């Protein structure tokens, strides 16, 4: 992932020692300081102590379920959370994303897949002025124009892109990184219809253009926080068969 003066920390939570070792080795080779845990309760304690930038979280832990660990982690950290599972049922993917996971990795996986997914997530800066460690490795999509640093106002909704804060009627919204990036992208071209492929490329990075479900789940979560009624949307309109756009300001 290249060199950076900011040392990033990864917390690997996995009870299978072989898989834990593989993940730890893979992440350490791309520049992470890796902390390991074999249980959910220990992971929560380590997360409080070390404030990791990335958490890989097995679903099938011996004490707390991985979903519960994610649920407890998310309000206290803005770390990227990647859930690792051998169970690929749709309901688990939906539940994991709805409680704050950023992505899933399905067992068995290769180190190359882990590196690619982590690099794609870290292309989205975690905070102002902190470039993703993969910035030197991959270019952003050519069609992804820079979003203006100004505060964009859309009716009662305002989005401070540089400050990464969104508000409705002055009240700050508790958005995750992905939710904010989606909203900032949509509002940057309010009259434009954004396809799911373009949103995936813009927010998640290259190589994600086939996973439309990620966009749909995070848009649904974003709408909940915006207080949207999908039957009469105020902010985000679904353009059937295409994607999404912002509603006209009345």
Inter-residue contact 110 to 131 (CB < 8 Å): no
Q: Which residues contact 197 (CB under 8 A, 6 or more apart)?
A: 209, 212
pLDDT confidence bin for 20, thresholds 50/70/90: very high
Condensed to tens digits (0 to 9), the pLDDT of residues 168-226 reads: 988 999 888 888 989 999 988 867 899 988 888 888 776 665 667 778 888 988 999 99
d(CA 122, CA 106): 19
Condensed to tens digits (0 to 9), the pLDDT of residues 28-49 reads: 998 999 999 999 999 999 998 8
Identify the three-state secondary structure at position 99.
coil
DSSP 227: T
Strands 54-58 and 80-85: parallel
Cα–Cα nearest to 168, from 160, 177, 159, 157: 157
d(CA 70, CA 108): 21
Q: Is the pLDDT of residue 137 over 90?
A: no
Considering the chain, what percentage of its residues have pLDDT values greater than 90? 29
Q: Is the pLDDT of residue 134 over 80?
A: no
Condensed to tens digits (0 to 9), the pLDDT of residues 158-176 reads: 998 888 899 998 899 988 8
Cα–Cα nearest to 124, from 136, 134, 115, 132: 132
d(CA 43, CA 55): 9
Inter-residue contact 72 to 26 (CB < 8 Å): no
Q: What is the model's pLDDT at position 167?
A: 92
Condensed to tens digits (0 to 9), the pLDDT of residues 70-102 reads: 988 888 888 899 988 887 665 566 666 777 888
């Amino acid at each position: 992932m290249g060199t950076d003066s900011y040392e990033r920390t990864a917390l690997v939570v996995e009870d299978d020692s072989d898989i834990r070792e593989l993940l730890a080795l893979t992440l350490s080779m791309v520049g992470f300081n890796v902390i390991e845990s074999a249980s959910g309760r220990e992971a929560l304690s380590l997360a409080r102590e070390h404030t990791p930038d990335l958490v890989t979280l097995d679903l099938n832990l011996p004490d707390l379920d991985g979903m519960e660990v994610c649920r407890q982690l998310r309000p206290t950290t803005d770390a990227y959370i990647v859930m690792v599972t051998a169970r690929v049922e749709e309901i688990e993917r939906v539940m994991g994303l709805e409680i704050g996971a950023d992505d899933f990795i399905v067992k068995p996986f290769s180190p190359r897949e882990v590196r690619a997914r982590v690099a794609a997530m870290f292309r989205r800066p975690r905070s102002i002025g902190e470039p993703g460690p993969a910035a030197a490795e991959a270019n952003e999509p050519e069609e992804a124009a820079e979003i203006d640093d100004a505060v964009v106002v859309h009716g009662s909704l305002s989005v401070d892109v540089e400050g990464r804060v969104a508000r409705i009627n002055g009240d700050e919204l508790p958005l995750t990184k992905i939710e904010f990036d989606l909203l900032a992208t949509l509002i940057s071209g309010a009259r434009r219809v954004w396809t799911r492929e373009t949103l995936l490329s813009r927010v998640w990075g290259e190589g994600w253009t086939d996973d439309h479900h990620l966009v749909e789940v995070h848009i649904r979560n974003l709408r909940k926080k915006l207080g949207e009624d999908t039957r009469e949307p105020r902010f985000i309109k679904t353009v059937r068969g295409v994607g999404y756009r912002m509603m006209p300001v009345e």
